[in-house]
Structure 1
Amino acid sequence: MKGSMLGNGVVGILAETSNKWERRAPLTPSHCARLLNRCCRDNTGVTRIIVQPSTKRIYHDKLYKDVGCEISDDLSECGLILGIKKPRLEMILPDRAYAFFSHNHKAQKENMPLLDKILAERVTLFDYELVDGDNGKRLIAFGKFAGRVALIDLLRGLGQRYLNLGYSTPFLSLGASYMYPSLAAAKAAVIYVGEEIAKHGLPSGICPLVFVFTGSGKGSLGAQEIFKLLPHTFVDPSKLPRLFEKAKDRTQPGQASDRVFEVYGCVVNCQDMVEHKDSPKVFDKADYYAHPECYKPVFHERIAPYVSVLDMMPIPIHTTMTWRKMA
């Protein structure tokens, strides 16, 4: 059977099993309809699509069946099998092509059994994380939705964290991102939290509340989009010490305020995280990427002591971090 299944025109869609939260699908019903209709017109390409049944997938099985897909646990007739996250080892069939996020090209220890299985079964793997264009830039990466989801979940966790430390905050009213039926509904919930902060303030004991965003990619911009729904002020990384000095001044006798009515944002990039060992006043991003060993970390000294919340989108940094206690 070796090689006989590859390119046979039958595509399979895996039921996601990596964790209980994963509801995404590699192909939507409308994608499947387009692929199958094209085959009917041209008599080429995808002839059949077999979808493993799932009761938690965002698109329920009937939507796939309505556009001509087959619903079956058995994907043995598929030459190409698509998923989002890594499947269970027993779901890897020999001599097929698979596409999913494998998370093993950096030799992540927990995913080595999956790689061993792929090699043993002579599987062709298309790893989304390694799909790039002519210029070598990744074509499939974190987008704005990843950043939006990250910050919503972060705000929810922040409310729980502060409650454990003895502080009640408006963040406690937020649900996790998966609990909202749409982005608009999630944003409305964050806007309500912002209105509560503007009206009633935050306890001074946890302020200034500083959100630090790394980089300016789509993920970071998505997180900032949600952050901006709160009453906020952005500050330059160099101004963080002064922000805390002002907060300390407000706690002096006669100047005290027990509530703070906004949060603070700060966007940091590579030059805020490292500096050249020999020429600290000059930062060259290209040189840093090419020779990271010539640079030393400064994030833990200049930024981390002032961070309440760190929203870290992927960014190449060579640094160690210390944390300001949230109390």
Structure 2
Amino acid sequence: MKVGLIKEEKNPPDSRVPLTPSQCQYLRQINPDLEIFIQSSQERCFSDLEYQEKEISVVNDISSCDILLGVKEVPTDVLIPQKTYLFFSHTHKKQPYNRKLLQTILEKKIRLIDYECLCNTQGKRVIAFGHWAGVVGAHNAILAWGKRHQSFALKPMHKCHNFAEAKTYYNNLPLPNFKIVITGDGRVSNGAATVLDLMKIKQVSPKDFLKQEFSHPVYTKLSVNNMYSRKDNRVFDESNYYECPKKYNSIFTPYTQVSDIMINGIYWEKGVPAFFSKEDTKKDDFKIKVIADITCDIAPDASIPCTIRPSTISEPIYGYDPYLEAETKPFQPQSIDIMAVDNLPNELPRDASEDFGKQLINRVWDELKKSDSKMIYDATIAIDGKLNKPYEYLQDFVDYK
């Protein structure tokens, strides 16, 4: 089997990799018939030389490879026909901006395996960058608070060599007695909690968070049952919520009245009620002043109505004026400061890549070698110029002119 690591060519550039040099070396050691080729790139967090030092071939042309691994979406003009690709395509939710990508994949008879769709027998994703998105998102939330109040200057994560360096700045931060609410209880929110724990911010229960005052900074994590209730007043049913979110209302309002910072780390799909409305942000009792929107779904179809655009690693924070319902400069008295970087793990590319590669090797690699892997089948969006059966619902999406 010949495997190629493609050069990331989406703009803005991404420096993450699906496999590090050491991981490529390890895979070759345990798979004698495996050949790995690295498409030369100046953008990667691991240099061409680092791969070559592990005796991994670096080339310009990877068209001889059977399987091509990337991270972000591949530009349509560089897709190689009739190859197997693995990357995050962002197509399975009918994302309009990637319609042409999926159409081209079908035209070129490419087999597309989407990392986001790789799941175990319980339906849980087996590979993701979510933990590191949460880590960087929480770091940026605290950075934004420090800038807003001019109380401390936290070094941006992307200027740190790695997470180990970032952690050295967490001791003795002059944090006030603020309250932080984290939405979700998965990889992203757990990553965010990791940072807050390192900053010695204490976790409290949702009930205590709402009812008590503290003499030190605190945070709480909310599961879906803390944020939504059934419209018919019946007992909350989590499985029913995921199947029929339109039957539920948001009950998030009490948290907007006591929280200073919100870190949004929960997966969202169209039909799920927004946490709050634009009108809510105008009310005197709406207290949140910093929102780290890690999920970064853009309004109007989003859980955070004031996330009006993605931000960038170089300029991660913008202001939202609730009264004008428009973007403004950040750190203004009337603004809500929004952090909505949509490629957060790329601020810690070496850490994120190392973790991602471990998941790929431990949970996916053996499945790739099987001819009848259900995991791979269920994550295959397109094959031989057609949508795979689990994704035939995308036909109207690709047929749209």
Taking structure 2 as the reference length, what is the TM-score of the superposition? Answer: 0.63
Once residues 89 and 276 of structure 1 are traced to their aligned partners in structure 2, the CA distance between those partners, rounded to angstroms, is 43
Residues 1:127 and 2:114 aligned together: yes
Alpha-carbon spacing, 1:295–1:104, altered in 2? closer, same or farther (3 Å): same
Match for residue 248 of structure 2?
295
Residues 209, 219 of structure 2: 8 Å contact kept:
no
Cα deviation, residue 288, structure 1: 2.3
Once residues 114 and 200 of structure 2 are traced to their aligned partners in structure 1, the CA distance between those partners, rounded to angstroms, is 40
Cα deviation, residue 20, structure 1: 4.7
Larger Rg: 1
Cα deviation, residue 274, structure 1: 1.2
Within 5 Å, which residues of 2 pair with 1:11-90?
11-20=3-12, 22-40=14-32, 44=33, 46=34, 48-90=35-77
SS in 1 for 2:167: helix
Within 5 Å, which residues of 2 pair with 1:304-323?
304-315=256-267, 318-320=272-274, 321-322=276-277, 323=281
Residues 276, 295 of structure 1: 8 Å contact kept:
yes
Alpha-carbon spacing, 1:16–1:296, altered in 2? closer, same or farther (3 Å): same
Cα deviation, residue 130, structure 1: 0.5
Match for residue 151 of structure 2?
169
Within 5 Å, which residues of 2 pair with 1:183-194?
183-193=163-173
Cα deviation, residue 290, structure 1: 3.3
Match for residue 191 of structure 2?
222
Within 5 Å, which residues of 2 pair with 1:194-209?
196-197=174-175, 202=176, 209=178
Match for residue 228 of structure 2?
274
Coordinate RMSD, CA, aligned: 2.5
Residues 83, 111 of structure 2: 8 Å contact kept:
yes
Cα deviation, residue 262, structure 1: 3.3
Once residues 207 and 29 of structure 2 are traced to their aligned partners in structure 1, the CA distance between those partners, rounded to angstroms, is 57
Residues 83, 100 of structure 1: 8 Å contact kept:
yes
Alpha-carbon spacing, 1:100–1:262, altered in 2? closer, same or farther (3 Å): same
Q: Which is bigger in relative contact order (C-alpha 8 A, separation at least 6)? A: 2
Cα deviation, residue 241, structure 1: 5.0
Residues 24, 57 of structure 1: 8 Å contact kept:
yes
Once residues 255 and 201 of structure 2 are traced to their aligned partners in structure 1, the CA distance between those partners, rounded to angstroms, is 19
- Percent identity between matched residues is 28
Match for residue 265 of structure 1?
219
Match for residue 154 of structure 1?
141
Residues 1:179 and 2:159 aligned together: yes
Alpha-carbon spacing, 1:141–1:156, altered in 2? closer, same or farther (3 Å): same
Cα deviation, residue 66, structure 1: 2.6
Alpha-carbon spacing, 1:114–1:190, altered in 2? closer, same or farther (3 Å): same
Alpha-carbon spacing, 1:29–1:287, altered in 2? closer, same or farther (3 Å): same
Unpaired runs of 5+ in structure 2?
290-332, 334-401
AA of the residue aligned to 1:284: D
Cα deviation, residue 305, structure 1: 3.1
Match for residue 100 of structure 2?
113
Once residues 159 and 73 of structure 1 are traced to their aligned partners in structure 2, the CA distance between those partners, rounded to angstroms, is 45
AA of the residue aligned to 1:309: I
Higher mean Cα deviation, 16-25 or 102-111? 16-25
Cα deviation, residue 57, structure 1: 1.4
Once residues 10 and 171 of structure 2 are traced to their aligned partners in structure 1, the CA distance between those partners, rounded to angstroms, is 32
Unpaired runs of 5+ in structure 1?
1-8, 203-207, 248-260
Cα deviation, residue 232, structure 1: 3.2
Alpha-carbon spacing, 1:135–1:238, altered in 2? closer, same or farther (3 Å): closer
Higher mean Cα deviation, 233-242 or 180-189? 233-242
Alpha-carbon spacing, 1:77–1:294, altered in 2? closer, same or farther (3 Å): same
Once residues 142 and 210 of structure 1 are traced to their aligned partners in structure 2, the CA distance between those partners, rounded to angstroms, is 26
Once residues 156 and 188 of structure 2 are traced to their aligned partners in structure 1, the CA distance between those partners, rounded to angstroms, is 18
What number of residue pairs does the alignment pair up? 279
Residues 214, 315 of structure 1: 8 Å contact kept:
no
Alpha-carbon spacing, 1:35–1:234, altered in 2? closer, same or farther (3 Å): closer
Could you report, residue by residue, the CA deviation over 1:90-116 in whole angstroms, capped at 9, with x for unpaired residues? 220111111011111101111111111
Once residues 251 and 15 of structure 2 are traced to their aligned partners in structure 1, the CA distance between those partners, rounded to angstroms, is 39
SS in 1 for 2:168: helix
Cα deviation, residue 283, structure 1: 2.1
Match for residue 205 of structure 1?
none
AA of the residue aligned to 2:95: Q
